[in-house]
Structure 1
């Protein structure tokens, strides 16, 4: 049973990463449950800043789509790259480790941010999306 669950979890995570890479926020959002638990490790006082509006907690598919649209609007897509180093799966839980490479549209500053993405997949849908990233690198890139 655990092997079947882990296989499903891995398949959903790999599909999520493919859809994010394809840049279609609506298709990404289809993978999330209603509601879902979406959290970022940024300080609450930094959530929703004008320069980084995608950085806030989310709870729905519409929120997930908005997150990826807002990232696209605030970065130069031709300079974006994400390096996935490892995907660890244990039953319904998965952790994706890697590095995001982006360039802030407003300042033209590139940045690299290491990340760990903790996902939970239940019944083929993502119910938890907790991201831990180098928020200082992102903040510096968007600071005028």
Structure 2
């Protein structure tokens, strides 16, 4: 599969909301990074595909999923790299605060699996939404 096809399938799986199916889009060994702080348990590095499903379950437990708005504005592909530019809107479950921000996601594909995913978002905005 081409990089674009793998990445588009990943976004389809994310939209469908099945954490285990999303994890299957990743190679066994991965380089996954979501910036944040220790107070946000879904942030940080992940190194194994099995950790992807746990990440999504933890994230879903901390947001109000039915109020998510994910907008992909562009998908740029160069060889085995893809960059998605878009916007996220989330509601923090513990505070009820809504936060919206532009985001970028860098993905790298090897064969038909994702081997790297870095999310770039406004970490201050996210932290403030969850602060008590």
Which TM class, normalised by the smaller chain length?
over 0.9
- Residue by residue, what CA displacement relative to the aligned partner does 1:105-144 show, whole Å, maximum 9, x if unpaired? 0000000122110000001100111111111111111001
2:4 is aligned to: 10
> Aligned to 2:93, what secondary structure does the other structure show?
coil
CA RMSD in angstroms, aligned pairs only? 1.1
Runs of 4+ in structure 1 over 3 Å off: none
- Residue by residue, what CA displacement relative to the aligned partner does 1:8-28 show, whole Å, maximum 9, x if unpaired? 100111111111111111000
Larger Rg over CA atoms: 1
> Aligned to 1:105, what secondary structure does the other structure show?
coil
Write the distance in 1 (CA, Å) between the matches of 2:125 and 2:14. Answer: 21
Aligned residues: 132
Give the structure-2-normalised TM-score: 0.95
Which ranges in structure 2 are unaligned for 5 or more consecutive residues?
A: none
- Residue by residue, what CA displacement relative to the aligned partner does 1:65-111 show, whole Å, maximum 9, x if unpaired? 11111111101112111011000001100000111101000000000
As a proportion of its length, which structure holds more helix? 1
